[in-house]
């Protein structure tokens, strides 16, 4: 983004120099003025889109719990985990420098998509070709992406990325935490051992408790509850569409109660 402003400043200096040397607006000076204006417009355009993208990601992080519980409002639109957003792409070239600019997120099925898709395609066709070697390559890529509806993502995926590997699926009660710590100590498990909750039949409320070391390889959701790390397999969460479940311990056994979907 700042490269565009820097190049624009160079063209502006060139325009001033040509006017000073020639004493009038020559063809070179006019070209420099045009190119400088185009660069500063590109800088403004990229800055505005970056602000919209940053605002969306701040909203996403602030509303992850609300989205997982049912939904949240974004700019007057009600979104949930199954809502889909898309971003279009434009290619801009400044001689030896080529940029790929992402648009703000648009909500599929609620926002008008043909206008920004066409706008970004036109931007790419007008301004994308003129850099070597990446100008033509990125321009063609942008046209293909925009023609196919943009880069589409489910909010479910974006929420998962925003939270890393942390997602609150199981919450321990104090009595459950106490029993788990007792078992860990009694069996001589290593320090840092986590409790893994394995869904057997979530519809019927059947789960089993296992013990494991937390490995951050992306396969598990994990959360800290009662000063213990609780693990659950991501694929199981998606298969059963699990909401938050409270894990309790009473009458000598663990019990599981769903609080939301």
Each residue of 99-113: pLDDT tens digit? 788 899 999 999 999
Q: Could you tell me which residue, 193 or 21, shows the higher pLDDT?
A: 193
Whether 257 shows a pLDDT value over 60: the answer reads yes
Q: Would you state the pLDDT for residue 247?
A: 93
Q: Would you state the pLDDT for residue 8?
A: 47
Question: What proportion of the chain, given as a percentage, has pLDDT over 70?
Answer: 80
Q: Could you tell me which residue, 69 or 26, shows the higher pLDDT?
A: 69
Q: Would you state the pLDDT for residue 129?
A: 87
Q: Which of 14-23, 126-135, 249-258 is modeled with the greatest confidence? A: 249-258
Q: Which of 86-100, 153-167, 168-182 is modeled with the greatest confidence? A: 168-182
Whether 261 shows a pLDDT value over 80: the answer reads no
Q: Would you state the pLDDT for residue 258?
A: 80
Q: Would you state the pLDDT for residue 117?
A: 93
Three-class DSSP labels, 62-79: HCHHHHHHCCEEECCEEE
Q: Which residues pair with 245 in a beta bridge?
A: 170, 258
Phi and psi torsions of 25, nearest 5° = -85, 100
What tens digit of pLDDT does each residue of 32-45 get? 555 566 666 667 77
Confidence category of residue 19, pLDDT binned at 50, 70, 90: low
Q: Would you state the pLDDT for residue 3?
A: 47
Question: DSSP for the chain?
Answer: -HHHHHHHHHHHHHHHHHHHHHSS--HHHHHHHHHHHHHHHHHHHHHHHHHHHHHHHHHHHHTHHHHHHT-EEETTEEE-TT-EEEE-EEEEEETTEEEEEEPPPEETTTS--HHHHHHHHHHHHHHSTTSTTHHHHHHHHHHHHHHTTSEEEEHHHHHHHHTTTB---EEE-HHHHHHHHHHHHHHTPPTTPEEEEEEEEGGGTEEEEEEE----SSSEEEEEETTEEEEEEHHHHHHHT---EEEEEETTEEEEEE---
What tens digit of pLDDT does each residue of 80-99 get? 988 999 999 988 887 677 87
Q: Could you tell me which residue, 261 or 175, shows the higher pLDDT?
A: 175
> Which residues 6+ apart lie within 8 Å of 44 measured at CB?
none
Distances, alpha carbon 239 to alpha carbons 79, 162, 194, 216, 258, in Å: 21, 21, 22, 21, 16
Q: Would you state the pLDDT for residue 20?
A: 58
């Amino acid at each position: 983004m700042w490269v565009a402003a820097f190049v624009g400043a160079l063209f502006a200096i060139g325009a001033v120099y040509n006017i000073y040397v020639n004493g009038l607006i020559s063809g070179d000076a006019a070209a420099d003025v045009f190119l400088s204006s185009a660069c500063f417009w590109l800088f403004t355009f990229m800055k505005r889109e970056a602000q919209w993208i940053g605002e969306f990601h701040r909203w996403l992080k602030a509303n992850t719990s609300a989205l997982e519980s049912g939904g949240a409002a974004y700019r007057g639109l009600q979104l949930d985990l199954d809502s889909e957003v898309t971003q279009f792409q434009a290619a801009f070239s400044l001689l030896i420098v080529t940029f790929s600019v992402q648009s703000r997120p648009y909500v599929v099925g609620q926002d008008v998509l043909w206008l920004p898709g066409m706008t970004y395609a036109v931007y790419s066709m007008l301004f994308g070709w003129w850099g070597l070697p990446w100008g033509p390559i990125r321009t063609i890529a942008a046209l293909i992406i925009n023609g196919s509806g943009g880069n589409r993502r489910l909010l479910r995926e974006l929420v998962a990325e925003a939270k890393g590997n942390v997602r609150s699926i199981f919450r321990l009660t104090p009595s459950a935490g106490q029993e788990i710590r007792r078992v860990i100590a009694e069996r001589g498990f290593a320090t840092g051992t986590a409790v893994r909750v394995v869904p057997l039949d979530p519809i019927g409320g059947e789960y089993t408790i296992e013990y494991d070391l937390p490995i951050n390889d992306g396969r598990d959701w994990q959360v800290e509850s009662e000063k213990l790390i609780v693990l659950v397999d991501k694929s199981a969460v998606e298969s059963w569409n699990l909401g938050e479940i409270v894990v309790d311990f009473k009458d000598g056994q663990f019990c599981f109660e769903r609080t939301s979907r």
